[in-house]
Amino acid sequence: MTSTLRPRSIPADRITIRDIDAETLLYDQRTHKAWCLNQSSACIWRLCDGTKTLPEIAAIATRQLDSVMSEDLVLLILAELRDKELLEEPSAAVLPEGLSRRQMISKAGLAAAALLPVIAAITAPPASAANGSVGTGDDS
Amino acid sequence: MRPGMPLLLDLLRGQASIHDGSERDWLAVLDLAEQENILPWTAALLRAMPDVRPFPQLGQRLREIHRDAQISAFFWASALRSILTDFHDRGIPVVVLKGPWLTERLCGDAALRPCCDLDLLVRPQDVIQAETLLADLGFSPRRLRDDHERPWRRGAVTVDLHHDVEHPLAFNFDVQRAWERTEPSPFHGVPARLLSPADELVFLCLHSARHCFERLSHVLDLTFAFRSLPAPPAGSHAERNSEITSVLALGEAMAARLDPRGAKPMSADTGSRNRRHLEELADQLWLERITRPCASVDWRAKHEFYLRMETHRARRFFRRLRHGRILLDRLIDADFAFAERFHLRQRWQVWLLRPVRLLFHVGRASPSPP
């Protein structure tokens, strides 16, 4: 099943992308959500072009990251990407259940920990926190 | 001065070296810069210093600040671009005030100035359409439309939708004429509009005055602005309007206190007595800001500050009349909060209770009106 799966990321015209050092920032114009991806997550996301199977993605990612990227780890990352709505349907819906983070570390050891996906939501502080004053309309 | 302020000011003026303070001193400077809303710029100045290596904790903090600032700038620039796209698709002309775009133009990098909301200016006749658009985009109004703006919120993003930059009775920006002078300019490929450079300078001075120059960020913005933006030309509304001229003069005076080297003489003549008064006011303000944190500025504090800017007793009297006139027209959160005590929520009921509230001065701001 996984050997035929060809995941696809959401279309480029819906996303604003910026790389900072080893992280990749994404802004989804449809959901108006922003994400900060670590290196492994960003690598997998970029490889999801709808043409590559899981084994192919794992092999390419292993070369690009210079670390062993197992199919289990790719599945784990894909699950995170799906949860953040960064994968396009229908490939997102048919992802099989993979290993959890804890199971991944147990299986592959601490060496896999560095490759575990980190997809953090980017939020903004509330307006009052940075502005200080309450503005013009809240008291007289 | 406040602890850390001398070192911070030296750094901002380009007169500090890394050895002027210990690591602890510099970390305190960063804390102070954060309070004053100028953390990214301050951190950038420190990062540019030749040798921060003796201070590993400081170096780590600077890297964190740099990363956070880049992430924040990306977020706000992306949100702005997305919203401008929607405004363009609906055919609603919009001017972008302050925010990441201003920082890009004045400082070269949107990450150098913190952003906490987006300020958009639409023509008065487009307000309803713009509010409908924001509602369609999932924004909710945070309160009633104010003197010149209404904040809308969607998750972490607040958009202040302006139809003016201040109540015309407080300061007549002549927003209609300003619209005629706006210039089309794309923001990251999306069509939008900007105030003319001279109007933008007036706006920034007015913005800082509205906030009573409560943070160093309000002064730092003006140092950049006065370096890059031209003063209003002779014969312009801003140049002929003495109150706007005073706002410009005060803004320039405050900018000069932070960056004396960047000060340039104002082309507009405010009159020698008025100029002296504004210079004295700038001295007072500057001393207040560097010796203690500014208390939160509310509507009353803002209008009391406007009074301080007036030189003549007669002008102060007429300004009080205008402030009273402004108050008559508006219900504020405190009015609704007071009426809520009696379980009254209709506007006419809130109006009736308002004199009672003002009489007993029991109002307090509430987060949002019913």
User: What pLDDT is recorded for position A91?
Assistant: 63
Look up the ipTM and state it: 0.84
Residues of chain A with C-beta less than 8 angstroms from the C-beta of B327: 140
pLDDT more than 90, % of chain B: 59
pLDDT higher than 70, residue B366 = no
Q: How confident is the model at residue B239 (pLDDT cuts 50, 70, 90)?
A: low
Per DSSP, chain B holds a count of helices (H) and strands (E) of: 16, 7
Q: How confident is the model at residue B369 (pLDDT cuts 50, 70, 90)?
A: very low
- Long-range contacts made by residues B340-346, C-beta under 8 angstroms, separation at least 24? B340/B366, B340/B370, B345/B370
- Exposed (0-12), middle (13-18) or buried (19+): which is B179, by Cβ within 10 Å? middle
User: What pLDDT is recorded for position A110?
Assistant: 64
CB B248 within 8 A of CB B199: no
Greater model confidence, B71 or A132? B71
pLDDT more than 90, % of chain A: 47
CB B94 within 8 A of CB B193: yes
Distance separating alpha carbons of residues B59 and B23, to the nearest angstrom: 10
The whole-angstrom distance between A34's CA and the closest CA on chain B is 7
User: What pLDDT is recorded for position A107?
Assistant: 66
Give the domain ranges of chain A.
12-122
- Tens digit of each residue's pLDDT (9 = 90 or more) over B82-128: 999 999 999 999 999 999 999 999 999 999 999 999 999 999 999 99
- Tens digit of each residue's pLDDT (9 = 90 or more) over A35-62: 999 999 999 999 999 999 999 999 999 9
Of B292, B362, B313, the residue nearest B334 (C-alpha): B362
- Tens digit of each residue's pLDDT (9 = 90 or more) over B13-72: 999 999 999 999 999 999 999 999 999 999 999 999 887 677 899 999 999 999 999 999
Residues of chain B with C-beta less than 8 angstroms from the C-beta of A133: 211-212, 214, 296-298
**Among all chains, which residue has been given the structure tokens 């502080």?**
A125
Put residue A66 in one of left, alpha, beta given phi > 0 → left and psi -120 to 50 → alpha. Answer: left
B39 Cβ neighbours under 8 A, 6+ residues apart: B30, B33, B65, B69, B114
DSSP state of A49: B
Of A107, A36, A51, the residue nearest A76 (C-alpha): A107
B173 Cβ neighbours under 8 A, 6+ residues apart: B164, B165, B166, B202, B203, B206, B244
From residue A119, alpha-carbon distances to A37, A52, A109 in Å are 5, 22, 21
DSSP state of B181: H
Hey, which residues does A25 pair with through a beta bridge?
A18, A36
- Tens digit of each residue's pLDDT (9 = 90 or more) over A115-131: 888 899 998 765 544 44
Q: Which residue in the set A122, A127, A139 is minimally distant from B363, CB to CB?
A: A139
CB B5 within 8 A of CB B32: yes
Q: Which residues 50-109 of B are in CB contact (within 8 Å) with A?
A: 67, 70-72, 74-76, 78-79, 81-82, 85
Q: Which residue in the set A125, A133, A137 is minimally distant from B333, CB to CB?
A: A137
- Tens digit of each residue's pLDDT (9 = 90 or more) over B161-186: 999 998 888 888 889 999 999 999 99
Distance separating alpha carbons of residues A130 and B105, to the nearest angstrom: 21
